[in-house]
A and B are shown apart, each in its own frame.
Chain A
């Protein structure tokens, strides 16, 4: 089994056991996002954010099937992807708060975090906007024969964007090592995807001859296994893959979307939270397998909480950029 190589204080504690590390990472994402929500509600954060809570198994299952030097591109709902690929919570909080120590020195914000050292080519606020970038990164990998793959995360809303189909065609004809990961959280903003999506989603990549799989996005093991298969195909030169992950966002489209009754029911939200929670499901499986017990899971959660709290303090304490920096980095 291949796993990401995130530098983590937990590696020793878990003796390399990847499922426990995935549990910790999913918990980190959830706690991080809860803090983001509080920052917004407390008017401490400029602008908005799109929370990933409920979808943690997708980012973690995918990224733990990648090498550190594999590429990802992310979306407006991207905090989970960044953390799963190894980003530091402190520099992420700093970026969300517009601080100088943020990943983008405060110039990007929630929707534009990039982390080149970990292969993250950036979140993107244009729906489907990064599909070309991921495909281009795969082009580079193929030209160099580096064995790297690129993963392109996008929501099902991006299925409405033409660029996706242009680049899937390019990836197929040039056999590029890219995996398109469609996170179907059922809602494109405030509209159920069935109102906007004709036919069967998987028929679309398959029309280009792209190997396409579907996974339960609330089951990190299923996501990981499917990703690993597609990634290995890519590394072997067998071309692009497509992974459809069925998932759900617990919160609104963004942090300010609190009154959601006009587009989905509270019962539906409760069902996903109570019966399909990806963290609870992984915890149950770990316990069942004897890989963890209540105490060890609590310890992992404690470590995740420490990371997030330390990161939050770092972000809050970080200085704002000097206004003179506004003209820096327009050109390289």
Chain B
């Protein structure tokens, strides 16, 4: 996964002189996750810039650079630090195009991370995608495979809008096929990761692998689960979700953000509003517990949706608990 992100950035830096990367330790260090290793060597410190620890400052600078014709990619190491850039992202980047009646454009990508179970404590483990997906004017991308990450990141960099691109930091070492030829993937197209007939598992980012594993277990019990990954929360491909649930009649929605007022609530309501008469059971939601992420491993592991929890919820919906 890390290599896919790295290749996407390298290809876009090569293709378009307006693209630059800015963030803490993005150059020589290649980020603490080593996702950007080698970029500064090829593109130089003018285009891969190590910044001070000033998340709001670099995001504000990127908004101004984007407005004036550049295509910045801002690296915000941990998703928890979104709190530090919220004014620049929400009040500036997201609104400039609309507030100016379409005059200004902010083609900015803000890359950050999500995900618990890395034993990093409450300020380095949150999954805050719901916060940004709530804001009109922002696009929000949550890739779950190396293939998706590369194609979606290249599309995000070419998009004329601010895009928040959130990677699961537990997934950087996940392996997957990526074509040798260049490709992009459209923002706003869900992907059916596995076909099935009895129940739809709607899963984002880190939860896609959890749901695929749960689907394997369900299959062993004679339950055919379809796994749908929206891939982008905004724009949201409602059609693919609704079509799947119309077919299966049951849905479990799984996202690693907090359950309360979270992404699962929005996805479940889309399904309830548009596929109500096809539902054989209420939509179920699984998200992170509504507690700050604790440090101690047995505590932290309690907070996130697990394969077992997804399997149980799906089996219950199918009357097979």
**What are the residues of chain B within 8 A of A280 when measuring CB–CB?**
none
Which residues between 133 and 163 of chain B lie within 8 Å of chain A, taking CB atoms? Answer: 136-137, 139, 160-161
* Pick from B60, B62, B136: contact of A330, CB under 8 Å: B136
A330/B69 contact (C-beta < 8 A), A132-B63, A133-B60, A169-B52 known: no
Which residues between 294 and 332 of chain A lie within 8 Å of chain B, taking CB atoms? Answer: 328-332
Q: Is A252 an interface residue (CB 8 A)?
A: no
Contact check, A170 vs B61: say whether CB atoms are below 8 A apart. Answer: yes
Shortest Cβ gap from B101 to chain A (Å): 3
* Pick from A106, A129, A143, A163: contact of B101, CB under 8 Å: A106
**What are the residues of chain A within 8 A of B92 when measuring CB–CB?**
124, 126, 129-130, 132-133
Shortest Cβ gap from A173 to chain B (Å): 7
Contact check, B161 vs A167: say whether CB atoms are below 8 A apart. Answer: no
Contact check, B70 vs A132: say whether CB atoms are below 8 A apart. Answer: no
Q: Is A205 an interface residue (CB 8 A)?
A: no
A173 to B62 CA separation, bound complex (whole angstroms)? 16
Which residues between 129 and 169 of chain A lie within 8 Å of chain B, taking CB atoms? Answer: 129-141, 143-144, 150, 162-163, 166-167, 169
Smallest Cβ-Cβ distance to B235: which chain A residue: A331
Which residues between 92 and 142 of chain B lie within 8 Å of chain A, taking CB atoms? Answer: 92, 96-105, 107, 136-137, 139
Contact check, B67 vs A169: say whether CB atoms are below 8 A apart. Answer: no
Q: Is A116 an interface residue (CB 8 A)?
A: yes
Q: Is A80 an interface residue (CB 8 A)?
A: no
Q: Is A254 an interface residue (CB 8 A)?
A: no
Contact check, B64 vs A163: say whether CB atoms are below 8 A apart. Answer: no
Which residues between 84 and 120 of chain A lie within 8 Å of chain B, taking CB atoms? Answer: 102-108, 112, 114, 116
Most buried by A among B60, B104, B105: B60
A122 to B46 CA separation, bound complex (whole angstroms)? 27
* Pick from B57, B63, B102: contact of A332, CB under 8 Å: B102
Shortest Cβ gap from B130 to chain A (Å): 19
Contact check, B103 vs A136: say whether CB atoms are below 8 A apart. Answer: no
* Pick from A73, A124, A170, A329: contact of B57, CB under 8 Å: A170
A107 to B56 CA separation, bound complex (whole angstroms)? 26
* Pick from B58, B64, B101: contact of A108, CB under 8 Å: B101
**What are the residues of chain B within 8 A of A330 when measuring CB–CB?**
97-98, 136-137
Smallest Cβ-Cβ distance to B57: which chain A residue: A166
Contact check, B65 vs A139: say whether CB atoms are below 8 A apart. Answer: yes
**What are the residues of chain A within 8 A of B97 when measuring CB–CB?**
329-332
Contact check, A114 vs B103: say whether CB atoms are below 8 A apart. Answer: yes
A163/B105 contact (C-beta < 8 A), A108-B100, A132-B56, A140-B65 known: no
Q: Is A23 an interface residue (CB 8 A)?
A: no
A231 to B72 CA separation, bound complex (whole angstroms)? 25
Contact check, B67 vs A104: say whether CB atoms are below 8 A apart. Answer: no
Q: Is B206 an interface residue (CB 8 A)?
A: no
A135/B137 contact (C-beta < 8 A), A107-B98, A170-B54, A329-B97 known: no
Q: Is B219 an interface residue (CB 8 A)?
A: no
Q: Is A121 an interface residue (CB 8 A)?
A: yes
* Pick from B20, B56, B100, B137: contact of A112, CB under 8 Å: B100
Q: Is A52 an interface residue (CB 8 A)?
A: no
Contact check, B70 vs A103: say whether CB atoms are below 8 A apart. Answer: no
**What are the residues of chain B within 8 A of A112 when measuring CB–CB?**
99-100
Q: Is B51 an interface residue (CB 8 A)?
A: yes
A136 to B92 CA separation, bound complex (whole angstroms)? 13
Q: Is B8 an interface residue (CB 8 A)?
A: no
Contact check, B104 vs A143: say whether CB atoms are below 8 A apart. Answer: no
Smallest Cβ-Cβ distance to B90: which chain A residue: A126
* Pick from B60, B100, B103: contact of A131, CB under 8 Å: B60
Q: Is B88 an interface residue (CB 8 A)?
A: yes
Q: Is B66 an interface residue (CB 8 A)?
A: yes
Q: Is A32 an interface residue (CB 8 A)?
A: no
Shortest Cβ gap from A97 to chain B (Å): 14
Contact check, B100 vs A136: say whether CB atoms are below 8 A apart. Answer: no
A126/B104 contact (C-beta < 8 A), A166-B56, A329-B98, A330-B137 known: no
In the complex, 6 of the A-B residue pairs with CB atoms within 8 angstroms, ordered by the A residue number, are A132-B56, A136-B63, A136-B72, A137-B68, A170-B57, A329-B101
- Chain A interface residues (CB < 8 Å from chain B): 71, 73, 102-108, 112, 114, 116, 121-122, 124, 126, 129-141, 143-144, 150, 162-163, 166-167, 169-170, 173-174, 328-332
4 new A-B contacts at CB < 8 Å, known A166-B52, A167-B54: A106-B101, A108-B99, A121-B64, A163-B88
- Chain B interface residues (CB < 8 Å from chain A): 20, 46, 49, 51-52, 54, 56-70, 72, 87-88, 91-92, 96-105, 107, 136-137, 139, 160-161
